[in-house]
Amino acid sequence: MNTPWKLFALAGIASAAIAIGVAELVAAFVGPSSSPLTAVAGAVVDRVPRSLEQFGVQTFGSWDKPLLTVVVILVVAGAAALAGVLARRHIGFGLGVIAVFAVVGALAAIERPDSTSYAVIPTLVGAGAAMLALSPLVRRAAEASTAPDSRRSAGPADVGGAAGSAPGAADTPWLGGGGASRRTFLLLAGGTAGAAVVAGGAGRLLARWRGVSEQRAAIRLPAPASPAPPVPAGAKLDVAGITPWTTPNVDFYRVDTAFVLPQVNPDTYRLRIHGRVRRELTLTYDDLLGLPLVERDITLACVSNEVGGDLTGNARWLGVRLKDLLDRVEPDADADQLVGRSADGWTCGTPTAACRDGRDAILAVGMNGEPLPIAHGFPVRMVVPGLYGYVSATKWLVDLELSRFGDFDAYWVPRGWSQQAPIKTASRIDTPRASAEVSGTVTVAGVAWAQRRGITKVEVRVDSGAWQPATLAASDSTDTWRQWSWRWDTTSAGPGNHALEVRATDATGVTQSAEPRPPAPNGSEGYHRVDVEVR
């Protein structure tokens, strides 16, 4: 039998192995779910019908995930073998298959709940390694398959592959006869696969050793001493396409500078409160859990949110009142800035007064009923109603220093953002979506927010016509967003393109300004506009 295609298949498999191994190693640094293997397996689980998923769990128990990973590896190996064989015709075919897999892996990685765009890095570095490995492997495979000693006669003496072949190569009858060039190829392919296994194994070990997912999973949060007030019945509108009132953790926007997610171990956690204080205080994670906890619904917003953007979310936070802790350290009267520092050195400056004026400023340990997700600041973050995230919401918080605005500029201030930044009144149209085709009577709906002040009016207009009052959902608190809806009889507008706009008024009587402003330096302004087509 003529065997060279097997050499090319092996070349492909070795390249795929190095891709996966390198990606695992890089993923150990970038974050738990950025491994393309883990991400693709997760993406498969998300798409598999419930019944099949249950069958998997029932049949294989906790082995279902490792088994799925093995299946993914086998599929990749099959495709890689094919890529190797195709690469024999032209290296471009092999590189093309690698590129396709890189795109699938990268898409799966960014789709993971706690991912950022950095999550594509392990896949891309892995694919790069595979592309580098493929051409020397294919070249060696070609040399091995054209070398005279590999052309085998069909004579009986050759059965078993031993006759006339060099020592050593005789151990691989599956690949046919031997020869120096074949040995060189097998060494290269074997070495590549070996390096892949070492890199992948090291990556998995490192990820486990660095990560705090297990510590997080073991945490049982205490019940709040002060539970969240019940959300009024009419606060959540039943309108298709509107943002849910509570943002699930997996959908909650994520904004931070962390290239690699900080892994802060709750067992060794220390929070130091110091600076311009009468007495310093250092607390462990258990100290914090032992204090009376409050639970509150609070809507967070990012200053970078464009008009109509989605960098805002509403969650149920559980944590310790910041005021209680500040009362214990007794800040100096002139300590007007509370500087938060994260485990990875990011800083944030919050007006001390905002943390002591009676609002629900908290050091949060829980988010929507579970310990903070790692991406959202596990084990401890700050949440201060009414202030944009960059001046209030330090994640992976390890240090609080009482300071003065005149003495210290936090991370974003020298980069052109304001020292102080209360959240501006804003409103958004969630449905219909831009370019939607609508007809008949349409429910236009969305959310509006003005943390600390509350929303008292939302208005909608069509094609810059007269402002029409929208119907407000029940108000929860001034610190949460408020849903609204408006019935639009599209026949009055007639067929064609029409512009919907929204504006909100807060409880101080101030209406959003029409003048568009960009997010920098302290939050975007202007009306959200959605263009739709009436049919």
Ligand X SMILES: Nc1nc2c(c(=O)[nH]1)N[C@H]1C(S)=C(S)[C@@H](COP(=O)(O)O)O[C@H]1N2
The site for Mo ion (CB under 5 A) is made up of 255, 302, 389-390
Least spacing, CB of residue 299 vs ligand X, in Å? 11
Interface stretch with ligand X, choices 76-84, 247-255, 414-422, 433-441 (CB under 6 A): 247-255
Using the minimum distance from each CB to ligand X, give the nearer residue, 262 or 331: 262
252 binding partner (options Mo ion, ligand X, none; Cβ < 5 to 8 Å by kind)? ligand X
Least spacing, CB of residue 273 vs Mo ion, in Å? 24
Tokens of 375: 């991406």
257 binding partner (options Mo ion, ligand X, none; Cβ < 5 to 8 Å by kind)? ligand X
- From the number of C-beta atoms within 10 Å of its C-beta (0-12, 13-18, 19+), residue 74 rates as exposed
Tokens of 52: 């099949």
Asked if residue 256 binds ligand X (CB under 6 A), the reply is yes
Asked if residue 254 binds ligand X (CB under 6 A), the reply is yes
Handedness of CA 351, 352, 357, 360 (dihedral sign): positive
Least spacing, CB of residue 363 vs ligand X, in Å? 13
Q: Which residues pair with 428 in a beta bridge?
A: 447
Binding residues among 367-406 for ligand X as defined by CB under 6 A: 376, 389-390, 393-396
Q: Please, which residues have CB within 8 angstroms of residue 312's CB and are 6 or more apart in sequence?
A: 253, 299, 300, 301, 302, 305, 426, 449, 481
Least spacing, CB of residue 418 vs ligand X, in Å? 13
The bridge status of strand 528-534 relative to strand 437-438 is: parallel
139 binding partner (options ligand X, Mo ion, none; Cβ < 5 to 8 Å by kind)? none
The bridge status of strand 381-383 relative to strand 362-367 is: antiparallel
Please give the single-letter amino acid code of residue 131. M
Using the minimum distance from each CB to ligand X, give the nearer residue, 374 or 532: 374
User: Is the distance from CB of 72 to CB of 36 less than 8 angstroms?
Assistant: no
Least spacing, CB of residue 381 vs Mo ion, in Å? 13
Any idea what the Cα angle at residue 421 is, between residues 418 and 425, rounded to 5°?
A: 135
Alpha carbons 138 and 11: distance in angstroms, whole number: 6
Using the minimum distance from each CB to ligand X, give the nearer residue, 182 or 395: 395
Least spacing, CB of residue 317 vs ligand X, in Å? 10
Q: Please, which residues have CB within 8 angstroms of residue 323's CB and are 6 or more apart in sequence?
A: 355, 356, 358, 361
Interface stretch with ligand X, choices 252-260, 270-278, 289-297, 438-446 (CB under 6 A): 252-260
What is the residue whose two structure tokens read 């026949």?
Answer: 491
User: Is the distance from CB of 460 to CB of 500 less than 8 angstroms?
Assistant: yes
Asked if residue 21 binds ligand X (CB under 6 A), the reply is no
395 binding partner (options ligand X, Mo ion, none; Cβ < 5 to 8 Å by kind)? ligand X
Applying CB under 6 A, which residues contact ligand X? 252-257, 300, 302, 342, 346, 376, 389-390, 393-396
